[in-house]
Structure 1
């Protein structure tokens, strides 16, 4: 298995370290149409079948779930949603991986954004119900993100062979 990392992905040394320690090949600076991570296995490229969108915190995710400042023409929420829509349009599975957080952290509003916990969960549930997100994983310890990615990709392959 070779892990593909989108060219826009930043600050992922903990994932690169995990892959190196576990002798997993990585191709950085890949142009993924959506998502941050995908993979190649036995010369089959899965980047249009499954991707992982990684967020390093609830703060980063909340930023992507809000529209932005009223005086700023860039609507972060729409841009973020469009990435998920592009994946859905080609039938790719989109997995959201949230580091340094648990679902309880959303409930307890353990993040800096003013986004209310009900709106936070409501947005995630809405996107899941619309088929934009196929699964959501929380990694309380960001150092588990590499392990989680491998498990997600291995389970995907296992389901394909059933």
Structure 2
């Protein structure tokens, strides 16, 4: 498996414990994806301070990213902290925990975002790797099912002709 790390990611996650290779690249959405599947899956990484900033001063920019991500089959945000960090107001901003969590709830509904509370950078690497790995495995299964269904011998007509018109 080859993970693409956005070249703007300042401190990339450490994937050395996992059987993958890592390559820098430019991603339109997110910080991590799979090589050749960047248009289908992405994972965004956030620390708690980053997450709070996305709810406040960087909200417009972040919502634009969420809107772009809506076209992906899977978009997840891996948070290097816990829900309790937010609920306990363990960050410097004056933004109330309820406001942060309500924004995440609204974005889940509006944009279909999956939020993963990973607890730490190591947890973020774990969930990022396994989210991408599971997505890739499921994508391979879907592709195999399509190939099996047509087993290479059937051709899907691209235009209607008298022979195949309904």
| TM-score normalized by the length of structure 2 | 0.78
2:51 pairs with 43, 61, 64, which one? Answer: 61
Aligned residue number for residue 151 of structure 2: none
Q: Displacement of 1:85 after TM fit? A: 0.4
Q: Displacement of 1:132 after TM fit? A: 4.4
Aligned residue number for residue 157 of structure 1: 136
2:18–2:129 CA contact under 8 A, matched in 1: no
Q: Displacement of 1:48 after TM fit? A: 1.0
Aligned pair count reads 141
Unpaired segments ≥5 residues, structure 1:
69-75
Unpaired segments ≥5 residues, structure 2:
143-166
> Aligned with 1:140: secondary structure?
coil
Aligned residue number for residue 93 of structure 1: 74
2:33 pairs with 34, 38, 43, which one? Answer: 38
Tell me the distance in 2 between the aligned counterparts of 1:35 and 1:51.
Answer: 5
| Pair 1:103 & 2:61 matched | no
Query: Which protein has the bigger strand share?
Result: 1
Aligned residue number for residue 47 of structure 1: 38
Q: Deviations over 1:60-95 (max 9, x none)?
A: 1111210x3xxxxxxx2111110110111x334210
- RMSD of the alignment, in Å? 1.6
| Pair 1:27 & 2:23 matched | yes
